[in-house]
Structure 1
């Protein structure tokens, strides 16, 4: 029997179609390949945080401008999720993932040769466009590969992304003490080319019709009812607030740590500590959501995020660094629970489209909130109070999550 990620016979595919026919070694190889690709792209995203103080010094930027620079990348990443899904229907998820990874690497390579701020901004938009292919397509591939048992593998996939967040920013922070930031971006671009080659070589092909493999009928998807559509909308709202709180704090973390006496290498290590905790959070909470319910886990992580942010603000440098893994655990623990719930509440149009919609709105909210809300707050009242606003944003998830709870099978 040929190796495929999904199989159909002309009917609309359900999230589990063909999953039982995929052999365990193929599933493992698919998850490992997708995980490494996720690690690269999430590392690319968080690498920007470490570079913000460097760009502030070189280009004389205020907090609003810095937030805008980051949002150019995230905005391109968010805004092109749906087009990436449409391309995958025509050219296959595997091919689009390879091209997206090469484009992400190419954007960082161009940023490394940019001579000014305009060139840097354009290059970040290009790199973000490449990374837009990763989340919806990779998540849908895992959902199709593992079928009804996809929640755990989706947690592993998200865990892999945080490994990239832990490794790449920390390594870049170390290199920045000895090398120019442009050289660091060239190295990151080279790593992207290697990963793209690995995806092209190792990810199984999809010989079935793309439209069937990536789409689901209303009758075949559990989220076809109006109640599920309402639940999906609430899930998106929770994801938007969660994704807004994270950069709302992290964009100021380098400056908060520098106020406590940290050097650039320490800042890179700090982001590594946050990402290590985040990796554990994504690995742990994806499974805790299955056992104890989505609502309980999300409320715990969002309340924990707010408390951890306030502790980092109040403590001296060394104790604050020890809190960062716990902050990462809470800050990123929510996402695995939410991602694993997307297939359960997917509206008509299919799981791949549901993931694309979810990522578009949640990442788009993050891209807009940083320059429009947290950036002006930072310039007006300073990084500390802007970080407090991020903690308040995390707490705002709680009432929405309680409203969502009746729509979840195990959310009470």
Structure 2
């Protein structure tokens, strides 16, 4: 009888077989799609919770912050926990916990219950980015397709963001929010079962001899710090722009339904951008791609300010492509700055920075907008994004110094 390796802590040895790589990519993509969808569907449910429980805007912010704070704060602990309990176990458990959170939310009778449920959901979600990213990266190590695989993994996350909240929004026309939350919980539990079956059992033993022959030359710590800073700025600008884009469109005379269309066009371009920029980075070079897309994003933000509404709608997919595409290239660079044994930890640091930047930037730009207007707030975002150019040069030097 072969030894049951699925019950042991993971080994980060490379996977030799193409079938094993595909299964790992499928597992990582499934985790990313479901977790990102369960994270963003909160935006659909917040107005319903406000009406059901008479919540203030501050309490609404508390609900969103409870989920995001737990997700950001426990990513590093998730990477450490994987060393003790195994990557597969922790990723499956985190996905099940995210589903359980919605089952609990469906039973909520007030704010405290909802906050506790969302804290549990954020705790479960904290496992996805560091563990699933490292799973995909390790699977494609040595294949020459690591960055393309991570681009596909990131693309799956955007699909989840679009599909799960969209279907939930349609379902809420026919069922109660409680029934909707129950279905979301079942989705999370079903995804956990799917991950348990998808993650290759042979990952713990395949390529063990190959691992001994590897000579690892990770990039410099300064380059890694620049990479995390770039990811933090990129995520912060993206979240800040998405937060205040509706208000910019209102200034241009857009109605609520027009704003929805603009966001749909932007997200469509963003989903394609994740995939396209990942492949572009593998050909043009990741650092060159990052610098080009960040500068293009800054220019497009400024262009969005001056264009009239209908002209802006035409370029909205391009804005989405540049705005979202860079993140897949940045995520693909993480394996270049870490040894295999520290990959979960470094991914955790990277995603803690990006989630933290996405949480802080809207508050900063909101304060500027309160004092100087939305337009000046968006100009500030474009200026912040230009800081990624010297950071990109630091990343390049860090790679050369490996």
- Same topology, TM > 0.5: yes
Which of 198, 203, 215 lines up with 2:194 in the alignment? 198
State the 1:134 CA deviation. Answer: 0.6
Could you say which residue in structure 2 is the equivalent of 1:92? 86
Could you say which residue in structure 1 is the equivalent of 2:322? 330
CA distance in 2 between partners of 1:241 and 1:71 (Å) = 20
Could you say which residue in structure 1 is the equivalent of 2:395? 404
Whether the aligned pair in 2 keeps the contact of 1:240 and 1:365 (CA below 8 Å) is: yes
Which of 59, 64, 83 lines up with 2:77 in the alignment? 83
CA distance in 1 between partners of 2:291 and 2:158 (Å) = 21
TM-score by length of 2: 0.82
Could you say which residue in structure 2 is the equivalent of 1:9? none
Q: Secondary structure at the match of 1:332?
A: helix
Whether the aligned pair in 2 keeps the contact of 1:80 and 1:132 (CA below 8 Å) is: yes
Could you say which residue in structure 2 is the equivalent of 1:222? 217
State the 1:174 CA deviation. Answer: 3.9
State the 1:128 CA deviation. Answer: 1.6
1:18 equivalent to 2:10? Answer no
Alignment of 1:9-408 (within 5 A): 17-19=13-15, 21=16, 23-50=17-44, 59-61=55-57, 69-148=63-142, 149=144, 150-176=146-172, 181-205=177-201, 208=204, 221-223=216-218, 228-257=220-249, 260-263=253-256, 270-315=262-307, 319-346=311-338, 350-371=342-363, 373-381=364-372, 383-408=374-399
Unaligned runs of 5+ in 2: none
Q: Secondary structure at the match of 1:114?
A: coil
State the 1:339 CA deviation. Answer: 1.1
Q: Secondary structure at the match of 1:59?
A: coil
The alignment covers a number of residue pairs equal to: 390
State the 1:189 CA deviation. Answer: 2.6
TM-score by length of 1: 0.81
Moved more, 128-137 or 186-195: 186-195
State the 1:119 CA deviation. Answer: 3.8
